[in-house]
């Protein structure tokens, strides 16, 4: 009896370890597992996602996992070929459904989708010949649920910048920070990129996800460029916001030119000019001081001469 219990526990431990390894996206071979990257449905409609792979018929097991915004990835259902009994774990088959009639394909459905169901849904496949077989993940399907009565709205894009250059913390080098703001769009299918006419853009930092503000989304991206590049009117900086409207991708570019100004890094010519100006100012000061001293001396001499005559 003890041997049976120990054997059961060991099997459960191996299965748990396998599932844990499967949930690690680092184990994926995304080019072998294919999913649609974006899926849009109206609120209350079913959202069905397809998955296929080229790993062969030995990879007959399929897992569906989801990652909601700000949450960790979790397994929703486990399916195998030819079985109608799918393992939903803590999730309800009243909310989710899955099919698996062939080794290389499968489907997953979110029933009566709601805005709270929006997130990334991943398909993973495994042969599970032994407990060390890797799992292969797809790149994920981003599910968007269009709320009732909402219209698709493209973004408004503008570039903001300060009047002065900031001193960067690293290397003491002065830089200019440009902020690209895309706002007023719905839903949140956007990506942001920069183009710099002077060559490769320096440092780019973009928000990890669009933020819902009121009824619309907004996202920002920051570009840092060296001050001497910014202070050249011939240089151009373009922020490109790409928006998916459910049918096609549209680009919304916004451009800004560099502004003429004094270079923030002292060149040799600047240094020589500054030192020459300083020398000239010092000489003028010395001459004025000498003239003032001579005048005072002359006044004192006159006073002394006047007193002797009396």
For the domain spanning 156-257, the CATH number is: 2.60.40.10
Query: Can you give the pLDDT at residue 304?
Result: 67
Residues 271 and 188: their CA atoms lie apart, in Å, by 51
Summarised one tens digit per residue, pLDDT across range 107-141 is 999 999 999 999 999 999 998 666 566 889 999 99
Structural domain spans, the chain: 27-146, 156-257
- Kindly report the pTM of this predicted structure: 0.63
Number of other CB atoms surrounding residue 194 within 10 Å? 20
Query: Can you give the pLDDT at residue 165?
Result: 56
Q: Exposed, middle or buried: residue 213 (CB in 10 Å: 0-12, 13-18, 19+)?
A: exposed
Strands 38-42 and 141-146, by their bridges, are parallel
Query: Can you give the pLDDT at residue 7?
Result: 43
Give the pair of three-digit tokens for residue 105.
């394909």
Are 109 and 49 contacting, i.e. CB atoms less than 8 angstroms apart?
A: yes
DSSP string, 214-263: TTEEEEEEEEEEEHHHHT-TT-EEEEEEEEE-SS-EEEEEEEEE------
DSSP string, 128-140: -SSTTPPPEE---
Residues 136 and 285: their CA atoms lie apart, in Å, by 80
Query: Can you give the pLDDT at residue 87?
Result: 93
- Please list the ranges in the chain whose pLDDT falls under 70: 1-31, 128-133, 163-172, 261-279, 281-289, 292-293, 295-310
Residues 136 and 201: their CA atoms lie apart, in Å, by 35
Query: Can you give the pLDDT at residue 100?
Result: 93
Query: Can you give the pLDDT at residue 76?
Result: 96
Residue closest to 81 by CA, chosen among 112, 53, 49, 106: 106
Rg over CA atoms, the chain: 35
Residues 228 and 9: their CA atoms lie apart, in Å, by 67
Query: Can you give the pLDDT at residue 149?
Result: 87
Indicate the class that CATH gives domain 27-146. mainly beta
Q: Tokens 């792979």: give the residue.
A: 53
Give the pair of three-digit tokens for residue 272.
């020589």
Residues 79 and 263: their CA atoms lie apart, in Å, by 64
Are 122 and 65 contacting, i.e. CB atoms less than 8 angstroms apart?
A: yes
């Amino acid at each position: 009896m003890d041997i049976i219990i120990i054997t059961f526990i060991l099997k459960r431990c191996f299965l748990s370890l396998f599932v844990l390894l499967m949930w690690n996206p680092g184990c994926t071979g995304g080019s072998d597992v294919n999913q649609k990257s974006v899926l849009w449905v109206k609120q209350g409609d079913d959202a069905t996602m397809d998955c296929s792979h080229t790993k062969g018929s030995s990879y007959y097991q399929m897992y569906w996992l989801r990652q909601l915004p700000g949450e960790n990835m979790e397994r929703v259902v486990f399916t195998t070929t030819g079985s109608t009994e799918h393992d939903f774990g803590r999730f309800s088959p009243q909310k989710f459904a899955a099919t698996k009639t062939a080794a290389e394909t499968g489907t997953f459905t979110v029933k009566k989708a709601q805005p709270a169901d929006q997130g990334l849904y991943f398909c993973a496949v495994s042969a599970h010949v032994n407990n060390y077989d890797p799992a292969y993940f797809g790149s994920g399907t981003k599910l968007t649920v269009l709320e009732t009565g909402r219209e698709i709205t493209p973004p408004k894009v503008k570039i903001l910048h300060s009047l002065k250059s900031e001193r960067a913390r690293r290397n003491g080098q002065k830089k200019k920070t440009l902020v690209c703001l895309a706002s007023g769009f719905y839903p949140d299918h956007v990506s942001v990129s920069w183009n710099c006419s002077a060559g490769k853009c320096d440092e780019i930092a973009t928000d990890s996800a669009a933020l819902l503000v009121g009824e619309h989304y907004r996202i920002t991206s920051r570009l840092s460029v060296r001050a001497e590049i910014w202070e050249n009117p011939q240089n151009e900086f373009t922020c490109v916001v790409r928006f998916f409207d459910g049918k096609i991708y549209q680009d919304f570019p916004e451009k800004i030119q560099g502004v003429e100004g004094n270079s923030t890094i002292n060149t040799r010519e600047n240094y020589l000019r500054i030192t020459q100006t300083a020398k000239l100012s010092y000489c003028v000061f010395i001459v004025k001081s000498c003239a003032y001293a001579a005048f005072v001396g002359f006044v004192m001499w006159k006073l002394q001469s006047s007193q002797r005559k009396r």
